[in-house]
Structure 1
Amino acid sequence: MFNVEHYTGTKDQNYDLLLKQLKALLEDEPDQVANLSNASALLNQFLDEVNWVGFYLWKNDQLVLGPFQGLPACVRIPYGKGVCGTALSEGKTQRVADVHQFPGHIACDAASQSEIVVPFYKNGEIFGVLDIDSPIKNRFDETDEQYLEQFVEVVKQYV
């Protein structure tokens, strides 16, 4: 499930290449917004069958829309609400095969059918979440989850 024009290895090899590209893209840039913007753009280019890739950042006890690729989105998400807020309240990645079956799902884009949200923390404090939506059900698997968590670990080194 990758943009095959750019990546032709196994899924694991492709994700390893993505992580190397991410590090190279972010390592010399100190600006948080620039790095989050480039991270979301890189991931949007890398993954196929996705319709939204981006970050929500923790500000004033809520998630606030950050850099992203996709259609306009919900601006604010309360702690514990929707897939993004639940990822934070539970402190773990939420991989949702069918968003319409997720209690309290917040539908920012009616085309979204599945979603994965990786929460992330910096210096022990909530920083935000990486949120990815897909227009197909069951788009994300265990391998995606594992590597997207690694992706967030790289990003947080540079924000």
Structure 2
Amino acid sequence: MFDRLRKEIPILLKRSELKTDIRLQQVCELLKNSVPHYDWVGFYFKNGDKEELKLGPYAGAPTDHTIIPFGKGICGQVAVSNQNFVVPDVQAQDNYIACSISVKAEIVVPLFINGENIGQIDIDSNTPDPFTEEDERFLEFVNLEVAKIWV
């Protein structure tokens, strides 16, 4: 599955006739529809000069969390740490922002442009402890591909 997606994602992202947000939306939908344990897929981006993240394109249930302060929740922690964060059980995290009672696990991988963390991809799963190192490497690949089209 990830091998197929590694071929499809660059093709989607290279469609320069489409706005960046539309291409990112298509990536979110492709991931959500292709990976059984990806129940919500979205991008958060640094909100200008503010110490907060702003929700970008996503696929899945609507969320109230359109702005996340740095340090708050899993996404906010990744904005500060610049490190991947895999949460096998969201209930065990003190600093977790609940989006839905059905979410059991989360993975967040930072997105770097020229060495600067400008955002992240965030995946919620309704499956307990579904994320492996393969998910991490794959999402790092996705972010490297997204970085290539960033303007």
Q: Give the 3-state SS of the residue equivalent to 1:147 in structure 2.
A: helix
Cα root mean square deviation, aligned:
1.3
Q: Determine the C-alpha separation between the residues in 1 that align with 2:38 and 2:142.
A: 16
1:19-58 matched pairs, under 5 angstroms: 19-29=6-16, 31-58=19-46
In structure 1, the partner of 2:80 is 89
Query: TM-score, normalised on structure 1?
Result: 0.86
Query: TM-score, normalised on structure 2?
Result: 0.91
Deviation (angstroms), 1:119 = 0.8
Deviation (angstroms), 1:124 = 2.8
1:135-150 matched pairs, under 5 angstroms: 135-150=126-141
Deviation (angstroms), 1:126 = 2.6
In structure 2, the partner of 1:4 is none
Q: Determine the C-alpha separation between the residues in 2 that align with 1:155 and 1:100.
A: 31
1:83-122 matched pairs, under 5 angstroms: 83-122=74-113
Aligned partners of 2:31 and 2:38 also within 8 Å: no
The reply on whether 1:80 has 2:71 as its aligned counterpart is yes
Q: Give the 3-state SS of the residue equivalent to 1:157 in structure 2.
A: helix
Q: Determine the C-alpha separation between the residues in 2 that align with 1:39 and 1:51.
A: 14
Deviation (angstroms), 1:148 = 1.1
Q: Give the 3-state SS of the residue equivalent to 2:149 in structure 1.
A: coil
Q: Give the 3-state SS of the residue equivalent to 2:71 in structure 1.
A: coil
The reply on whether 1:62 has 2:84 as its aligned counterpart is no
Classify 1:28/1:50 alpha carbon distance in 2 versus 1 (closer, same or farther; 3 Å): closer
1:113-132 matched pairs, under 5 angstroms: 113-132=104-123
Structure 2: runs of 5 or more not aligned = none
Q: Determine the C-alpha separation between the residues in 2 that align with 1:37 and 1:143.
A: 22
Q: Determine the C-alpha separation between the residues in 1 that align with 2:135 and 2:53.
A: 23
Q: Determine the C-alpha separation between the residues in 2 that align with 1:97 and 1:42.
A: 23
Deviation (angstroms), 1:90 = 1.1
Q: Determine the C-alpha separation between the residues in 2 that align with 1:51 and 1:16.
A: 20
Structure 1: runs of 5 or more not aligned = 1-13
Paired residue type of 1:15: F
Q: How many residues align?
A: 146
Deviation (angstroms), 1:28 = 2.7
Aligned partners of 2:15 and 2:23 also within 8 Å: no
Aligned partners of 1:35 and 1:158 also within 8 Å: no
Which runs of 4 or more aligned residues in structure 1 lie more than 2 Å from their structure 2 counterparts after TM superposition? 123-126
Deviation (angstroms), 1:42 = 1.2
